[in-house]
Amino acid sequence: MTLTKHFLLPGSLILLSFSGLAGAQVQAVDFIQLFEKMSGKQPGLRKAHARGVCAAGVFEPADSGPFVSAPLLSQGSLPVSLRFSVGGGNPAADERAPGTRGMGMQISLADGSKHTFTGNNFPVFAGKDPQTFFGFLSTLLPDEQGQRDPKRMADYVAMHPSVQGHYAWLKSAKTPASYANTEFFGLHTFFFQPKDESQIKFRWQLIPEAGVKTLEAEEAKAKPADFLAAKLAEQIATGEVSYSLVASLGEPTDSNIDPSSPWPADRPQVLLGKVRLNSAGGDSCTAINFDPNQLSRGFTPSDDPVLKMRSPAYAISFGKRLSGQ
């Protein structure tokens, strides 16, 4: 039994210009074609992270700390819609495979605004910018015989240092035991501006309160190929599934714009709140566009080029998905 690792970007695709591809301009449609070459055409489905499960719960904000004045943290408990997923564009992806797991979370505020968090279980992104990421994905395409060339990928990684941290993670990644036992990283830098105070720079993480748990290869093989949704529902039914949403506070020397560059592990962390799940399954998240640039009042995105390119890309992909393309 061969289990293939999954490692595509959550959401859909990236809209950008890329002069490194034989001088051509790469647009959103080129990413769609790239994903379809890798996973096959899947009309009406997400072009990446096609296999997933919806969940719902509540966000219980922290009652102290530097973010407490934000509407996100000052309106009491708020409803949350989530989607957990496996990387890749195959809606029947084998959930026993090690590699990428994604999470989209949208919190609905009392005034009707939304705050969206989109993360992955890897701590660093596959490239410092969209161009580098596109090049990395291109090395995953099979040849005319349907085979991938590991050397092609390794050569690309060797020439692009900003991919090396993510590549090292891929090589060591195991199979997550459950979405309820997976940590998710926001990867990008954001800012919060308290009233009459200095701007706060941060990156967020969603940490499972039941602990991070993974499966060894033999343990994974013993599972059904679609075990993750059932496992999540079982854990919600038999006990509380919850996460801590925390923010790591950055220093001026920490990168604002490079999601492949990790911040030092000793940066202080503050609690934004708890996320508690109360149901899983159904299609409540199907019509949600988990755009990480959709932020509530007081929060702003950084100039990270990968983050900036997500909004127009997600909008294009979202429209195609809802129209059955």
Give me 29's structure tokens.
């449609």
CA–CA dist 184, 319 (Å, integer): 26
Catalytic residues: 49
Q: Span 211-224, mean pLDDT? A: 97
Least confident of 25-34, 149-158, 238-247: 25-34
CA–CA dist 310, 42 (Å, integer): 21
Give me 292's structure tokens.
């990480």
Q: Span 146-164, mean pLDDT? A: 93
Q: Span 105-116, mean pLDDT? A: 97
Q: Render pLDDT for 67-88 as a digit per residue (tens, 0 to 9).
A: 999 999 999 999 999 999 999 8
pLDDT at 312: 76
* pTM for the model: 0.90
Q: Render pLDDT for 84-96 as a digit per residue (tens, 0 to 9).
A: 999 988 899 999 9
Mean pLDDT value across the chain: 89
- 248: β partners: 203, 269
Chain-centre distance for alpha carbon 142: 25
